[in-house]
Structure 1
Amino acid sequence: MCKITIIGGAGTLGAAIAFKLAGKKAIDEICLIDQNEKLLLNHLMDLENAYPSKTIYKGTFHDLKHSNIVIITAAIPNRTDISSRDEFLEGNLQLFRQIGEAVAKHAPNALIITASNPVDVLNYYLVHTFQFDKKKLIGYTMNDSYRFEWALRRVLKLHENDKVSSPVIGEHGETQVPLFSQVKVNYKPLLLSEDQKIQVKEKLTNWFRNFNDLGINRTTGWTSAVGMERLIDQLLQPKTSTAIGSAVLNGEYDVSGISLGVPLAVNHTGIQSILEWEIEQKEKELFQQSAEKVKRLINEFIMNKK
């Protein structure tokens, strides 16, 4: 039996995730928390009809009690006039102070998934400020790997039945590191030409800008819901499996004191270990650059504001 609480349940991300998770037999209770009460009730009434046998309800921070997993999607309103997720940071840190205090009080032993942006900084903030067990906090970054797969499929013209592994590590942002050295198709390593890599990188670089240029105040709800369902499936199992997510590092990949996207071994108790893959030298250098970017943000917005 499993209870999941979604903080930010009325937003695009939270509502899409709730819809996907409500169909899981292993999840018998879903609590949705949001300040936008009418929109939350709108989603709730719809979800109750879609899943009439499931316990889904509107809650407050007090209802965090007995949560097995807490998913945080709450954020300041999405905007389209930005070029970086970092522009959400200051406003979201204020929200996360309230959220962190509530989770620490009512669900201190729950697994916590941070899905608000910038994910890496906010995930670290929760560990640093509230002393949560770092093995129980994962920043959701899997959309980057899904977009990497999308770009690979378009450039390489892969068949729809081909199985693609396309991990992306580093910051969930502009300095993310697609691991071309780890790409596999149908479980076999795939070597891309330099021209193919350039084409894939161009698609990835332009995606965020093109998405915002549409001028629609909506985030990537469906992609996030698909990825979150996959991650939750892994976190409900006693068997350990590999995921990609932002975790607080302590020397892995020669990085410490920040949260960053890396390969993880996870199960129902959280992060079992951080997997240090053999990656190419250039990928290592890009990962270090990504780490420096996130470290600067942490120093500016967290460490220097005590």
Structure 2
Amino acid sequence: MISIIGSGKVGSAIAFLCISNSLDDVLLVNRTKDKAIGKALDISNAIPKNSNVSIHGTDDFSKISGSDIVVITSSTGIYLKSRTELMDAQVKMIKEIASQIKKYCPFAIVLIVSNPLDVLTFIFQKETQLSRNKVIGIASSLDSSRFRYLLSEKFKIKQSQITDALVMGEHGDSMVPIFSRVKINEKNALEIIDETEKQTISIEIQNYWKSLRTLDSRSQFGIAKNTFDVIRSIIKNDELTVPASIVLNGEYGEKNVSMGIPVKINKDGVKEIIVIKLNKSESNLLKISAQTIRDHIKSL
């Protein structure tokens, strides 16, 4: 069973993808019971013919018992001005959820989508003492998708013509697009993108979610699809290489922090942390990003 904590736009979109693809039974958990039930009733109409999956809504955490995967999408506020706004409240929320998961399904793999993503991933893992390979923050894959899209728009080509568009570090203003690995029509991106263009694209990735707000939209479908891909990989044991936030223990020279790095995912969660070669500038920016996250954690 897949339990999704939070039945707002993102949580319900993830639930829809899981149900419409007959991935597994889904439980929506929301502090407002009627909202969870209402979303579940609507999504239940997307169950394919001859499918055995089901979806239900509740405000009762005890019903997550036996979950294989728990996805946390809940938030203490909506339309935040920054990802770290209400950080203290978000941390309090994640600690409360952590205690419930530890009580009712301590062997589940937990995917965290709520912001501030890296801080909450770190706090959750420390609170529950779950193996770090079972606590995965989903966001760097979304930032990488945005990176690929912006490059395709700039060069007026299909996204399929761009490979290895990777974003590492914080899901926030210190995120690090790894230009040195990007190939555009099999040509190294650094051969055709100058420093000014790099800065412009980096800022556009950072501010992508703000651009959505100005257009009366918000992050929903992109993050839902990226989360679904990870859920599917775990349930189907179909190995997936993707950037995700995980607590580090010396990888990339960092400890006491969770941040986005490339990993391999399978039925056990994170099967392998992939350490890639970065150029000097990228390595320095990644260190700054890691310290930014640590500073947020220390401020709590």
| Structures share fold, TM-score greater than 0.5 | yes
Tell me if 1:97 matches 2:98.
no
Matched with 2:137 is 139
Q: What SS does the corresponding residue of 1:279 show, helix, strand or coil?
A: coil
Matched with 1:304 is none
Task: Give the letter for the 1:118 counterpart.
Answer: P
**Contact residue 209 and residue 218 of structure 2 kept, 8 A:** no
Shift of 1:165: 3.1
Q: Unaligned 5+ residue runs, structure 1? A: 302-306
Shift of 1:105: 0.6
Q: Give the Cα–Cα distance (whole angstroms) in 1 for the partners of residues 279 and 163 of structure 2.
A: 20
Matched with 1:280 is 279
Q: What SS does the corresponding residue of 2:277 show, helix, strand or coil?
A: coil
**Contact residue 179 and residue 283 of structure 1 kept, 8 A:** yes
**Contact residue 78 and residue 219 of structure 1 kept, 8 A:** no
Q: Give the Cα–Cα distance (whole angstroms) in 2 for the partners of residues 178 and 241 of structure 1.
A: 20
**Contact residue 88 and residue 117 of structure 1 kept, 8 A:** no
2:46 pairs with one of 45, 50, 57: 50
Matched with 2:3 is 5
Task: Give the letter for the 1:170 counterpart.
Answer: G
- Report the identity percentage: 29
Task: Give the letter for the 1:37 counterpart.
Answer: K
Matched with 2:73 is 73
1:1-306 aligned within 5 A: 3-8=1-6, 10-25=7-22, 27-51=23-47, 53=51, 54-59=53-58, 60-80=60-80, 82=81, 84-141=82-139, 142-159=141-158, 161-162=160-161, 164-185=163-184, 189-191=188-190, 192-194=192-194, 195-214=196-215, 216=216, 219-301=218-300
Seen in structure 2, the aligned counterparts of structure 1 residues 225 and 206 have a Cα distance that, compared at 3 Å, is: closer
Q: What SS does the corresponding residue of 2:161 show, helix, strand or coil?
A: coil
Query: If the length of structure 1 is used for normalisation, what is the TM-score?
Result: 0.89
Task: Give the letter for the 1:18 counterpart.
Answer: A
Seen in structure 2, the aligned counterparts of structure 1 residues 160 and 207 have a Cα distance that, compared at 3 Å, is: closer
Q: What SS does the corresponding residue of 2:99 show, helix, strand or coil?
A: helix
Task: Give the letter for the 1:159 counterpart.
Answer: K
Task: Give the letter for the 1:133 counterpart.
Answer: S
Q: What SS does the corresponding residue of 2:107 show, helix, strand or coil?
A: coil
Shift of 1:181: 1.2
Q: What SS does the corresponding residue of 1:79 show, helix, strand or coil?
A: coil
Task: Give the letter for the 1:282 counterpart.
Answer: S
Q: How many residues align?
A: 293
Q: CA deviation digits over 1:229-266, x for unaligned, max 9?
A: 21222222435431110000011101001111001121
Q: What SS does the corresponding residue of 1:75 show, helix, strand or coil?
A: coil
Q: What SS does the corresponding residue of 1:87 show, helix, strand or coil?
A: coil
Compute the RMSD of aligned alpha carbons. 1.9
Task: Give the letter for the 2:44 counterpart.
Answer: E
**Contact residue 155 and residue 200 of structure 1 kept, 8 A:** no
Seen in structure 2, the aligned counterparts of structure 1 residues 43 and 238 have a Cα distance that, compared at 3 Å, is: closer
Q: Give the Cα–Cα distance (whole angstroms) in 2 for the partners of residues 152 and 68 of structure 1.
A: 37
Q: What SS does the corresponding residue of 2:86 show, helix, strand or coil?
A: helix
Shift of 1:163: 5.0
Q: Unaligned 5+ residue runs, structure 2? A: none
Shift of 1:186: 6.1
Shift of 1:269: 0.4
